[in-house]
Amino acid sequence: MAQQWRWSKREVCASLFFFVVFVGIGPLWSAETDWQKIEHEAGDLLSRYLQVDTTNPPGNEIAAARFWQEVLAKEGIESQVFESQPGRGVIYARLKGSGEKKALILLHHLDVVPAAKADWEVDPFAGVIKDGYVYGRGAIDCKGIAVAQFLALAALKRAGVSLKRDIILLGTADEEAGGQHGAGWFIEQHAEFIADAEFLLTEGGGIRVHDDGRRSYDVDIAEKAPCWIQLEASGPAGHGSRPLPETAVTRLVRALERIVRYETAIKVTPAVQAYFAALAAGETPERAARFRSLEKSLANPAFRKEFLANPSFNALVRNTISPTVLEGSNKTNVIPSHARAQLDCRLLPGEDPKKFVTLLEQVANDPNVKFSVLMNFSPIASEADTQLFRAIRAVAERHDPQAPVVPAVLGGFTDSHYFRGKGIVSYGFSGLPIAEEDWRRVHGVNERLALASLREGIQILSDLLLELNK
């Protein structure tokens, strides 16, 4: 059973007092706010949400959309559930403001990537809470973020804050597979629901807690673009007992071998240079100097080796290629007539996908191996000189005066591009402080979110919403 937490009258009064004292922009939380209770409510909600299995494929996000509809209804917030395809759900809710300012969207996705239960310490869909963490597939990506967004919004509603702008809570299906049946579908079919939005916040960036404890507020203003490619080879079929010199499988393996050995060029884009220049503030003088002129520094073999050994850094300075899917025969003794592989390639902003595919065809050097593009879009960057960015900076200065606020480029991609395409300034900033060690578990095993991170994230996000109410 969920324990429902409500503020007492005294708590609401105390909060409103603070609210008035800070001319409507100060911290929403009073000294008397019971953080244990908030943590408990957040942990309980996340635990229950993680038990709604939305592994994509098939997704079944409609169950998550209905879960949120019920949670929102208990909070007195009306919502709408959309079904893009049977079983694929989108949840949409709007907290009304005066309309003085344009709307803000809090966006999360309802689906999660698969989890191999046998590799986990706990059941990935049981919502286990232990040692101060909530464990489960999606704890960080993106169910914990959804819980923080909801409770930040609920905090404003519970405190009776009068909003100057509408706040839209939007949960989408299918993000992990590209979003065509979620955000992409919603933007295509129901663009009028977000037509008045100016800003959007979603996953991607957040408060990065580095291994040495230092923090940075990473705000993703741009993303690399996916270019998912399929390679298909063909050749004579036959019996495995009579090997043939050239088959679909041998051709494909050779082409892949050439591609895997190929090293893409290093390019430092202006946005990436700005990101490392901002990160330099917290580095040793020697490393800071390297970061400030990254392109030149990468000519130094020792620094280059050390820098590229960090997979996240490596992904920011080049187009990347990850072979992921392999398909040949499903019988050991059958030589198949077709073999397929898929590559997850990610391109830097400004790259031409067509040119990249042509380059890979040349590298593979076998006209029998056919290339086709499965998914691709052109990335658009959001500008960093906005009220939303300044609001994040103001909140960071209050919570973490030492932490740099960094406009960043995300190595992966989120649903942001659909909204950037509609002219909405979209940032990847979850508001949750997350340790590097926990980041590394996302899409891996034993994904977890610290209850303390959840609590602080709710505080930071609600402060951010108030700051935007200025």
Question: Whole-number minimum distance, CB 143 to Zn ion, in Å?
Answer: 9
No. of helices (H) and no. of strands (E), the chain? 16, 19
Part of the chain binding Zn ion (CB under 5 A), chosen from 7-15, 133-141, 214-222, 229-237:
133-141
Number of residues lying near Zn ion (CB under 5 A): 3
Residue closer to Zn ion (CB basis): 50 or 142: 142
Part of the chain binding Zn ion (CB under 5 A), chosen from 86-94, 138-146, 341-349, 429-437:
138-146
183 in contact with Zn ion (CB under 5 A): no
Question: Whole-number minimum distance, CB 108 to Zn ion, in Å?
Answer: 8
Give the whole-angstrom CA distance, residue 62 versus residue 406. 36
Binding mask 378-397 for Zn ion (x = CB under 5 A): --------------------
Q: Which residues of 241-276 are buried (b: 16+ CB within 10 A; e: fewer)?
A: eeeeeebbbbbbebbbeebeeeebeeebbebbbbbb
Question: Whole-number minimum distance, CB 179 to Zn ion, in Å?
Answer: 10
Residue closer to Zn ion (CB basis): 30 or 414: 414
Beta bridge pairs of residue 426: 200
Residue closer to Zn ion (CB basis): 166 or 203: 203
In this structure, the number of other CB atoms found within 10 A of the CB of residue 238 comes to: 15
Residue closer to Zn ion (CB basis): 50 or 249: 50
- Kindly list the distances between the CA atom of residue 413 and the CA atoms of 202, 220, 238, 303, 353, in Å, as whole numbers in the listed order: 11, 10, 42, 27, 16
Scanning the structure block, which residue is given the tokens 């700051």? 467
Part of the chain binding Zn ion (CB under 5 A), chosen from 94-102, 135-143, 151-159, 255-263:
135-143
In this structure, the number of other CB atoms found within 10 A of the CB of residue 162 comes to: 10
HSE (side-chain half, CA atoms, 13 Å) at 273: 12
- Kindly list the distances between the CA atom of residue 174 and the CA atoms of 185, 187, 194, 406, in Å, as whole numbers in the listed order: 10, 13, 19, 29
Question: Whole-number minimum distance, CB 203 to Zn ion, in Å?
Answer: 5
Residue closer to Zn ion (CB basis): 226 or 235: 226
- Of 223, 251, 263, the C-alpha closest to 381 is 223
Question: Whole-number minimum distance, CB 82 to Zn ion, in Å?
Answer: 20
Binding mask 193-222 for Zn ion (x = CB under 5 A): ----------x-------------------
Helix (H/G/I), strand (E/B), else coil: 262: coil
Give the whole-angstrom CA distance, residue 101 versus residue 425. 14
Percent helix, strand, coil in the chain (nearest 5)?
A: 40, 25, 40
Residue closer to Zn ion (CB basis): 428 or 433: 428
142 in contact with Zn ion (CB under 5 A): yes
- Can you give the three-state secondary structure of 49-97, one letter per residue? HHCCCCECCCCCHHHHHHHHHHHHHHCCCCEEEEEEECCEEEEEEEECC
Question: Whole-number minimum distance, CB 347 to Zn ion, in Å?
Answer: 19
Question: Whole-number minimum distance, CB 185 to Zn ion, in Å?
Answer: 17
Residue closer to Zn ion (CB basis): 175 or 456: 175
Question: Whole-number minimum distance, CB 175 to Zn ion, in Å?
Answer: 6
- Kindly list the distances between the CA atom of residue 4 and the CA atoms of 7, 32, 457, in Å, as whole numbers in the listed order: 10, 19, 20
Omega before 227 within 30 of 0, i.e. cis = no
Residue closer to Zn ion (CB basis): 109 or 165: 109
141 in contact with Zn ion (CB under 5 A): yes
111 in contact with Zn ion (CB under 5 A): no
Tell me if 121 sits within 8 A of 431, measured CB to CB: no
Question: Whole-number minimum distance, CB 142 to Zn ion, in Å?
Answer: 4
Residue closer to Zn ion (CB basis): 174 or 203: 203
115 in contact with Zn ion (CB under 5 A): no
Residue closer to Zn ion (CB basis): 11 or 176: 176
Within 8 A by CB and 6+ apart from 180, the residues are 174
Question: Whole-number minimum distance, CB 109 to Zn ion, in Å?
Answer: 6
Helix (H/G/I), strand (E/B), else coil: 33: coil
Question: Whole-number minimum distance, CB 361 to Zn ion, in Å?
Answer: 31
| Interface of this chain with Zn ion, residues 287 to 326, rule: CB under 5 A | none
Ranked by CB distance to Zn ion, the top (closest) residue is 141
Residue closer to Zn ion (CB basis): 84 or 202: 202
User: Where on the chain is the footprint of Zn ion (CB under 5 A)?
Assistant: 141-142, 203
